[in-house]
Amino acid sequence: MSSITIQKISITKLNTDAIVNAANPQLSYGGGVCGAVFREAGVAEMSAACDAIGGCRTGNAVITPGFNLPAKFVIHAVGPIWRGGNDNEPKLLYSAYKQALTVAKENGCHSIGFPLISSGIYGYPVDQAWRKALQACNDFIKANGDYDIEIIFAVLDDEVKVLGENVMLELMLGEERPLTLSGMVPVDYRDDGE
């Protein structure tokens, strides 16, 4: 059965089939999550693999090997820079998660670790980032009922973790049947990311 959980852990320590890098469109070594992923994977190896791909549009995702990471693959998902919310940011963020999950499924991954994409140096408000992240993951699980995937959000901050758990709980309370926090987020959203 598919599930969504939130853990206080470095994403580079997750022993999942894949982890997601909060990538930039150039797929280059950066700061924050991106820097940590490149360093732990091996900067030279990851840079060469990303250079061979050549880039990735905002809202899309590509895959490389995990190299020295516990995870077999790294899925590089490019989230939007926050510009106030009127520059298609919600739709692009939703798309980044959906595309990352699609790439994971195409590559046979049944467990995946996500950071909270765009909520760091890209400035996306954390509560809104959680809502879009959980919505996209829940929609993917609902649309792929025949495909089990364990989704783990890896965060380093207690407040961010609690906020995510509160958003998850709030979304679950809108559903008729009760589920645990470790279960799916049963919320009925439109599939278009709006």
Mind listing the domains of the chain with CATH numbers?
Answer: 3-173 (3.40.220.10)
Amino acid, res. 104: A
Q: Which two tokens stand for residue 133?
A: 């992240």
Q: Which segments in the chain show pLDDT lower than 50?
A: 176-194
pLDDT of residue 8: 97
**CA 69, CA 76: separation in Å to the nearest integer?**
14
pLDDT of residue 187: 39
pLDDT of residue 172: 76
pTM of the model: 0.89
pLDDT of residue 170: 86
List pLDDT tens digits, range 115-148: 999 999 999 999 999 999 999 999 999 999 999 9
pLDDT of residue 60: 98
Tell me how crowded residue 94 is: count the other CB atoms within 10 A of its CB: 25
Do 29 and 35 form a contact (C-beta atoms < 8 A)?
yes
